[in-house]
Amino acid sequence: MGWSEICGHEFQKQFFQRVFQNQTQSHSYLFSGPEGIGKTTFAFEVARLFNCEHPTIDGSCGSCRNCLLINARTHPDVLFLSPQENKILIEDVRDFIFRLGLKRVYGKFRVGIIESIELFSKEEIQNCLLKTVEEPPEQSIIILLTSQVQALLPTLLSRCQRINFQFLHQENIKEFLKKKYNLSDQKAFDIAEHSQGSLRIAFSLAEGIQPLIEKSFFIWDWITGENEIFSLGSWFTENKDNIIEIFSQLEWYLRDVMVFQFLAGKGERILTYSSYKKRIINDANRLSSEMISHFILAIEELEKDLKSNLNYDTTLLHFVLMVREELNSAPCCRNQV
């Protein structure tokens, strides 16, 4: 695959290329940053690079046996643990640790990648992984991926070298889309402008799939409107696999509304969702900053509750009722921005 086939993250690419050339790799890395920006793709390129039979200055060759097996997710020395139904069980972690300690088959390194490490909500699960992160098997690399660093134990954080990832630049996304989907310059620009720095959203738009931000606007409009909230059950069921990320998108949007209010409408260039300015202005005018702040905190608590395996329907219904009650009891708010 190589670094050139990964969108953006130039600093991180240069860092790992130097690490590889100097053979100064750490035993454990923590990739932190927003959802949908390519952390998992990047982690697999690191796995390819350290196992590639013919590496170049552009990273892995993409065509040797190790690269092909990693691409197919069938390499015996590259392990990948991803949540199922928004949870990771301690049994899965123990199996991951056991397999990481097995003798290498083809690769130069055994690489273990764990996605959404923040779903290790119970201390027991994080502590189970802690010893392996502290003392990993010989010739192994562990890469943990998270969008919520605050959910991790300080002891786990301190044992990893942290690599921060940011939202992608619009120009990077545009050029990447032109190459991947053979789009015109204008079409790629339009999609990149509405991607909010997320490659996942950009791909959805390019493939004609409703992006998660649009789904977050749907649920927000439904809750804050006059719609019957008890009819949302089927929608919640349909979107169960993505519900946490949908609310995460809504949280980022509300943060933009709060920033817009704070800067009296002069901060549009720093907004994540600047392409939705009309919507932002509307919410900034009709909701107080205190109410928006309260909703943001409520969404954070909702995400924690969903990851803690509380009853799915009850947790969401409680949140929806809370927001509706808050809106109904609050005085009419008109912030002038």
Q: Kindly report, residue by residue over 87-113, the tens digit of the pLDDT.
A: 777 888 889 999 998 899 988 999 999
Please give the structure tokens belonging to residue 307.
Answer: 């990851």
The structure's pTM equals 0.69
CA angle 305, 310, 314 (to 5 degrees): 95
pLDDT digits (tens, 9 = 90+) for 114-127: 988 777 666 777 77
Q: How far apart are CA 319 and CA 275, in angstroms?
A: 28
Q: What is the pLDDT of residue 269?
A: 53
Please give the structure tokens belonging to residue 132.
Answer: 């392996």
Q: How far apart are CA 138 and CA 114, in angstroms?
A: 18
Residues with Cβ within 8 Å of 283's Cβ and at least 6 positions away in sequence, in order, are 254, 257, 292
- Biggest CA-to-CA distance, the chain: 66
Domain residue ranges in the chain: 3-164, 169-209, 211-329
Q: What is the pLDDT of residue 272?
A: 60
Q: What is the pLDDT of residue 335?
A: 45
Range 211-329 has CATH code 1.10.10: no
CB contact at 8 A, 254 and 273: no
Q: What is the pLDDT of residue 330?
A: 63
Tell me what percent of the chain is helix, strand and coil, each rounded to the nearest 5: 60, 10, 35
Helix (H) or strand (E) holding 290: helix 289-307
CB contact at 8 A, 61 and 176: no
CB contact at 8 A, 289 and 268: no
Q: How far apart are CA 71 and CA 67, in angstroms?
A: 6
Q: What is the pLDDT of residue 155?
A: 85
Please give the structure tokens belonging to residue 173.
Answer: 């996304």
Q: Beta-strand (E) ranges in the chain? A: 28-32, 78-81, 110-114, 140-146, 161-164
Q: Beta-strand (E) ranges in 43-134? A: 78-81, 110-114
Residue pointed to by tokens 């909701």: 287
Q: How far apart are CA 283 and CA 327, in angstroms?
A: 12
What residues does 80 pair with on adjacent strands? 113
User: Does 3-164 match 211-329 in CATH topology?
Assistant: no
Residues with pLDDT less than 70, the chain: 85-86, 120-122, 208-211, 265-275, 309, 330-337
Superfamily of domain 3-164: P-loop containing nucleotide triphosphate hydrolases (3.40.50.300)
Helices 123-134 + 90-100 axis angle, to 10: 10
